[in-house]
Amino acid sequence: MNILVTGGAGFIGSHYVRTMLEGGHPGFEEAHVTVLDALTYAGNRDNLPATHPRLTFAHGNILDRELLAGLLDGQDAVVHFAAESHVDRSIADGAAFVRTNVEGTQALLEACVAAGVERVVHVSTDEVYGSIEEGVWSEESPLLPNSPYAASKAGSDLIALAYVRTHGLNVSVTRCSNNYGPYQHPEKFIPLAVTNLLEGRPVPVYGDGGQIREWLHVDDHCRAVQRVLTGGRAGEVYNIGSGTAVANLTLARRLAELCGVGPEMVRHVTDRKGHDRRYALDQGKIERELGHRPLTEFGAGLAATVAWYRDNPGWWKPVKHAAGRP
């Protein structure tokens, strides 16, 4: 089994790859993994083993069609994580989001068709559904993205589904809620808060902090992606949620507590433009069809994540302070 993983040097992709190389995905203990990653500011070669007999690392862009043709030759499956992934950056400049998330996904899927790849999973996000005041989004809910990031991911989802109908490519789409865990870039909420607190700085919380997100440990996300890869149906979308809904302010205060400081270290800042108020997923389909359930309890997962950042300043300090950032 040969499997190509795009974005495998990022937060979630690298967790997926490390798990596979450690034999953590049943049936894939002998699989050869090729990671294709552009190593943008978010990609980090140190997230993957420097040498491993079942890993090939290709430094390149999913927009490079010639490179894709060469790499996809002989691949049985593709798991597509590569993306521009930070909402704030998409507000400051959305162009890279359209290029990588929309054009890049199209280039990758076209190359998969040409190479005869048998199975593809396109990894997407709950943010494509937009904000929901109450209740939950199912896979049948309309796509109502609000940020340029979410809109570019929604565009990529539609392209993926079109490649099923038009070209018969065997693609499934996953839409996951907010992830947390080790190796997440310190620009994202939980690692930003924890690394700030570990350096004695306050935690910025947008607006009133009442925005509600559903949090899932990265390991549960990766196990779900693997379930979809092996058992999901072509042209189907699978929500991946946790049912653990937490307001940002509550989470920031909890992180302060876990870092041994008081709630005064949490500071309100001007709200993000177009900030979605609440995300919530119906995760019944993946549970019914593929038997997937999250395993990591939020309190335990969060404490372990804080401990990981406390124990690994050598990983996050260079990333956080890259290019002279304070």
Question: Which residues are identified as catalytic?
Answer: 126-127, 149
Count the helices and strands in the chain (H runs, E runs).
Answer: 12, 12
From 12, 79, 107, 120, residue interacting with ligand NAD (rule: CB under 6 A)? 12
Least Å from the CB of residue 30 to ligand NAD = 25
From 77, 82, 205, 251, residue interacting with ligand NAD (rule: CB under 6 A)? 82
From 17, 83, 252, 266, residue interacting with ligand NAD (rule: CB under 6 A)? 83
Q: Which is nearer to ligand NAD, 25 or 127 (CB)?
A: 127
From 3, 20, 55, 62, residue interacting with ligand NAD (rule: CB under 6 A)? 62
d(CA 169, CA 235): 9
**Structure tokens, 124:** 């997407």
Q: Report the site for ligand NAD in 146-175 (rule: CB under 6 A).
A: 153
HSE toward the beta carbon, residue 138, CA cutoff 13 A: 4
Q: Which residues pair with 281 in a beta bridge?
A: 137
For the beta carbon of residue 197, count every other beta carbon within 10 angstroms: 23
d(CA 223, CA 226): 5
Nearest Cα to Cα of residue 186 among 16, 325, 8: 325
Q: Report the site for ligand NAD in 95-124 (rule: CB under 6 A).
A: 100, 104, 123
How does strand 245-247 pair with strand 212-217?
antiparallel
Rounded to the nearest 10 degrees, how much is the dihedral formed by the CA atoms of 24, 188, 132, 241?
10
Q: Which is nearer to ligand NAD, 36 or 237 (CB)?
A: 36
From 17, 20, 38, 222, residue interacting with ligand NAD (rule: CB under 6 A)? 38
Q: Is 312 helix (H, G, I), strand (E, B) or coil?
A: coil
Least Å from the CB of residue 184 to ligand NAD = 7
Q: Candidates 32-40, 50-58, 263-271, 301-309 — which segment interacts with ligand NAD by CB under 6 A?
A: 32-40
Question: Is 240 within 8 Å of 175 (Cβ atoms)?
Answer: yes
Q: Is 178 helix (H, G, I), strand (E, B) or coil?
A: strand
Q: Which residue has the tokens 């870039």?
A: 185
Give, as one character, the DSSP assignment of residue 66: H
From 13, 145, 241, 294, residue interacting with ligand NAD (rule: CB under 6 A)? 13
Amino acid symbol at 220: D
Q: Does 211 bind ligand NAD (CB under 6 A)?
A: no
Q: Candidates 21-29, 76-84, 198-206, 314-322 — which segment interacts with ligand NAD by CB under 6 A?
A: 76-84
Nearest Cα to Cα of residue 243 among 275, 219, 212: 212
Q: Candidates 56-64, 112-120, 164-172, 194-202 — which segment interacts with ligand NAD by CB under 6 A?
A: 56-64
Q: Candidates 7-15, 255-263, 290-298, 302-310 — which segment interacts with ligand NAD by CB under 6 A?
A: 7-15
Q: Which is nearer to ligand NAD, 34 or 178 (CB)?
A: 178
| Interacting residue ranges for ligand NAD, rule: CB under 6 A | 6-7, 9-13, 36-40, 42-43, 61-63, 81-85, 100, 104, 123, 125, 153, 176, 178-179, 185
